[in-house]
Structure 1
Amino acid sequence: MTDKMEVLNARLFSVDRDTLFRAFADTELLSLWWGPDGFTNRIGTFDFRPGGTWRITMTASNGTEFHNVSTFREVIVPERIVFEHHEPIHVYTMEIDFTEQADGTRLNWRMLFDATEENLELKKFIAAANEQNFDRLEDLLLQISQDR
């Protein structure tokens, strides 16, 4: 039994693991797809190593800015990324796993939140937002493959 709330999203992407991992590790690419629909991003700091800080400002379509701060806990190229998201509102741990398969790479996102009443109410929203994130990533990967 755990006092954590889990949000799990997974999708198979039809690219190799290195390409999928690079979409996260390359800040130019990451800024193009991170976040749900309607968001744009500015990455201020991206110290991509255990103990490194990640600062990203996500701007909603209405102009509201969200200054996010995270700390990387684990980076295993091209297999796994773990970070702790500290602010602004949702404190959570994100585990991202990249698993090669015959027809592409499976991306698993596991988010762990404290099981507060507020977080439990947001669970469906967060899961849906993650799917939008995956849609944006898939669109970017398709664009990259067409540009080659």
Structure 2
Amino acid sequence: MPTQPSADGVFTTSRLFPFTPAQVFAAFAHPERLGAWWGPDGFSNTFEVFEFKPQGRWTFVMRGPDGTHYPNDCTFLEASPQRIVIRHVTAPHFTLTITLTEADGQTRLDWRQAFDDPRVATAAAPIVVPANEQNLNRLQAVLLATGASSASQAEP
């Protein structure tokens, strides 16, 4: 697990999930599923706008374990079963690219978070690195808990 971003402000991680790409995609495409796992441990979400389509808006508030509210405004640049690209419009500014690839009946998820300012990425590394891993841990827990509902439910 990298502890620092690349020189150009990019964090990367990947994970192999024992679910099909359609099942993992459904955990992004359905707001109730996404809200259940999005964010680091102890955080919860209230979605205000969720337009899961290219150029669709995603506005939500994350609540930290201490009760602090963190407003987020994002745009889905891409929302396909193979690739989801999210532009974080509120500071800190970054683009998150999630790629889903079939791998022998499982899904390889590649997570690439590119900050606009490499200095911001370096300063945020102590938060971002564990938070990204926690996000993927929470995704795995939701997939296991839901039995990753059938692929026929993958469409939003």
TM-score > 0.5, shorter chain as reference: yes
Q: 1:4 to 1:19 in 2, by over 3 A?
A: same
1:123 positional shift? 2.1
Residue type at the aligned position of 1:139: A
**Residue in structure 2 matched with residue 111 of structure 1 by the alignment:** 113
Further displaced range: 114-123 or 131-140: 114-123
Is 1:84 matched with 2:115? Answer: no
Q: Is the 8 A contact 1:3 1:114 kept in 2?
A: no
Question: Does 2:61 match 1:40?
Answer: no
Q: Percent identity?
A: 37
Unaligned 5+ runs, structure 1? none
Give the strand-richer structure, 1 or 2: 1
Contact 2:85 2:96 survives alignment (8 Å): yes
In angstroms, what is the RMSD of aligned CA positions? 2.0
Shift of residue 125, structure 1, vs aligned partner:
2.4
Q: Which has the higher contact order (CA 8 A, sep 6+)?
A: 2
Q: C-alpha distance in 2, partners of 1:52/1:147?
A: 24
Deviates more, 1:119-128 or 1:26-35: 119-128
Partners of 1:15 and 1:116 in 2: CA distance: 34
CA–CA separation in structure 2 for the residues paired with 1:135 and 1:113: 22
What is the Cα deviation at residue 147 of structure 1? 8.6
Residues 61-117 of structure 1: per-residue CA shift (max 9 Å, x gap): 1110011000111122x1111121011x31100111000110410111101112343
Deviations 1:103-145 (A, max 9, x none): 4101111011123433212124212110000111111111112
Larger deviation, residues 98-107 vs 112-121: 112-121
Secondary structure at 1:126 match in 2: helix
How many pairs were matched up?
145
The runs of 5 or more residues in structure 2 that have no matched partner are: 1-5, 151-156
